[in-house]
Amino acid sequence: MDSGYLAAVRRRLTGRGPPAPPDRLFDLMQAPALVAATAAPSSTTTDGAVAIGVTVVATLVVVALLLAAAAMVRNARALRRAADELRQKSLALVAELERTVARADAEMDKTVARADAEMDRVDDLIGSAERLTDTVGSASQMAYSAVANPVIKVMALGAGTARASERIRRRANRR
């Protein structure tokens, strides 16, 4: 780029020259960097432009922060609504769980009571069976004692009679 072009751009940017033709608009968009590199920093117009630029940037930052704060407030409200709904649903579920546990506890108490009654009944049956076993054992022992001696004697008598009849037959056959 020649120095004449830069001088023309500088004049147009500072307002001392004719407006830029439309085909040179892109060059003018790059011109602020060129002007900043070649312009004197003590210019009153440059100080005003910097102040306006800083004000615009600060305003944009404040607007962006306000938008971000509004979005955060909106999200916080939505989060609070969700937490309230969750709390209400969880309270309902806890209440239902308590009712279910109470019903199950009552059923369990009834079942345990029935099991205790059945165990008492079985215990009584076992006691009766033990007493019956003892009685039958005693009766069996008495029957054995009462019957054993006479049966042994009858068997001995039968065996003696059989031997005697055998001897008598042998003697009768020898004669």
Residue carrying structure tokens 């003696």: 160
Q: Which residue has the higher pLDDT, 86 or 14?
A: 86
pLDDT tens digits along 124-147: 999 998 999 989 888 888 887 787
CB neighbours (10 Å) of residue 131?
A: 10
d(CA 146, CA 8): 151
Residue carrying structure tokens 């004049």: 11
User: Is residue 16 a contact partner of residue 34, using CB atoms and an 8 Å limit?
Assistant: no
Long-range contacts of 20-28 (CB under 8 A, 24+ apart): none
User: Is residue 35 a contact partner of residue 10, using CB atoms and an 8 Å limit?
Assistant: yes
- CA angle 104–98–116, rounded 5-degree value: 25
**Is residue 157 scored above 70 in pLDDT?**
yes
Q: Which residue has the higher pLDDT, 4 or 155?
A: 155
How does residue 1 score in pLDDT terms, banded at 50, 70 and 90? Answer: very low
pLDDT tens digits along 29-68: 555 555 555 545 555 567 778 889 899 999 999 999 999 9
Whether the predicted model's global pTM rises above the 0.85 cut: no
- Range scoring the smallest mean pLDDT among 91-95, 100-104, 158-162: 158-162
User: Is residue 35 a contact partner of residue 17, using CB atoms and an 8 Å limit?
Assistant: no
* pLDDT of res. 70: 96
Domain boundaries, the chain: 1-39, 40-174
**With 0-12 CB in 10 A as exposed, 13-18 as middle and 19+ as buried, what is 71?**
exposed
